[in-house]
């Protein structure tokens, strides 16, 4: 198989794409892959390090409000489509898959116009603008949330899950909490607001630390790289002591290794986080970011709440007291955590990457009939 993959902007698009690529290589070591990303996205730094051939396009997103900048966006889009057509003509892919981000819009659209089989994957419960635009022309659509099905044309949609889930499930490590200076036998809560940190989650955690000091569970508080120094400064300024059962980190590089060993996680409700949580069945307290398109994190989180796999706190409700109360209740109830674990695993798709690969193969075979 010859495959062009396009995904850009954030890790929520890039890492599922890489997980799918890894699954495809396991099935077919002879596969040839070209990854097409954007000049500004994270993929420019991440993908080449994986040894995957990489090409970049200059592109930017549309503004939702009327803006002259959208004229420039349209010009860049058409230029990117022309460049994508040349790449497709040269590489001659059997199928093109778009995993999200503005750059995938140009690449998949170019493939559609050239008669190449196309597939898109939607990681969120609320469909993004790019995938809405592409949906009528593509051959197949993979989704990670059933709530997305009704937002696409009928007859093209297959629930496959998020490929990142398979990558996390297959990871085997000899992790120990002693690496963090903690005890392996004590249950551990992980509080994580994302790679950059979340201001309100950090503030609520700071407010709760003096009470966390008194608990018999452990807390790993991940502040985000750029907020770490500020958190330590605030703790010092307010003379808040941090107990031996609490570790504060700017970031955790080996998150997939850590997650199987946490009793509960507190964090955002992005698509990749949800995929990892449900793949492993980690009981969760979700605090959706209200600053994302169409409030899709709230809808992501609600799907887990409805299934009994998570608790949710909105940012407007969030403070030290509400955070402590939800965590205390959860950590005091072993039966509830076990029920949440089971419910979460029922939502997870541990073979999601393989299922998406099958969808690519279906798009190719259907065209050959």
Mark the binding-site residues for UDP-N-acetyl-alpha-D-glucosamine, compressed into ranges. Answer: 10-12, 124, 195, 297
The closest alpha carbon to 217, from 191, 251, 256, belongs to 191
Q: Tokens 């509830």 identify what position? A: 336
**Residue 286, φ and ψ in degrees, nearest 5:** -100, 135
Q: Detail the residues annotated as belonging to a binding site.
A: 10-12, 124, 195, 297
């Amino acid at each position: 198989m010859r495959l062009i993959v396009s995904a850009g902007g954030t890790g929520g698009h890039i890492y599922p794409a890489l997980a799918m690529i890894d699954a495809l290589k396991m099935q077919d070591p002879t596969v040839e892959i070209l990854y097409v990303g954007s000049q500004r996205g994270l993929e420019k730094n991440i993908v080449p390090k994986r040894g995957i051939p990489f090409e970049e396009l200059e592109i930017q997103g549309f503004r939702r409000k009327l803006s002259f900048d959208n004229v420039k966006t349209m010009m860049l889009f058409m230029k990117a489509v022309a460049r994508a057509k040349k790449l497709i003509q040269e590489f001659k892919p059997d199928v093109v898959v778009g995993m999200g981000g503005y750059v995938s819009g140009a690449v998949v659209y170019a493939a559609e116009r050239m008669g190449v089989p196309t597939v898109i994957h939607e990681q969120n419960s609320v469909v993004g603008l790019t995938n809405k635009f592409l949906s009528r022309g593509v051959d197949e659509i993979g989704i990670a949330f059933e709530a997305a099905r009704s937002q696409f044309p009928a007859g093209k949609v297959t629930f496959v899950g998020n490929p990142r889930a398979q990558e996390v499930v297959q990871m085997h490590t000899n992790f120990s909490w002693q690496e963090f200076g903690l005890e392996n036998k004590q249950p551990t809560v992980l509080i994580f607001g994302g790679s950059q940190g979340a201001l309100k989650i950090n503030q609520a955690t700071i407010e709760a630390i003096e009470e966390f000091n008194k608990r018999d569970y452990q807390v790993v508080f991940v502040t985000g790289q750029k907020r770490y120094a500020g958190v330590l400064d605030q703790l010092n300024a307010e003379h808040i002591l941090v107990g031996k059962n609490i570790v504060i980190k700017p970031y955790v590089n080996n998150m997939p290794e850590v997650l199987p060993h946490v009793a509960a996680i507190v964090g955002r409700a992005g698509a990749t986080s949800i995929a990892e949580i449900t793949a492993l069945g980690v009981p969760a307290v979700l605090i959706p970011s209200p600053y994302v398109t169409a409030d899709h994190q709230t809808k992501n989180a609600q799907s887990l709440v409805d299934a009994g796999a998570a608790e949710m706190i909105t940012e407007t409700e969030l403070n030290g007291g509400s955070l402590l109360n939800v965590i205390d209740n959860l950590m005091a109830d072993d039966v509830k955590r076990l029920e949440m674990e089971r419910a979460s695993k029922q939502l997870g798709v541990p073979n999601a990457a393989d299922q998406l690969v099958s969808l690519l193969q279906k798009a190719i075979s259907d065209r050959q009939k």
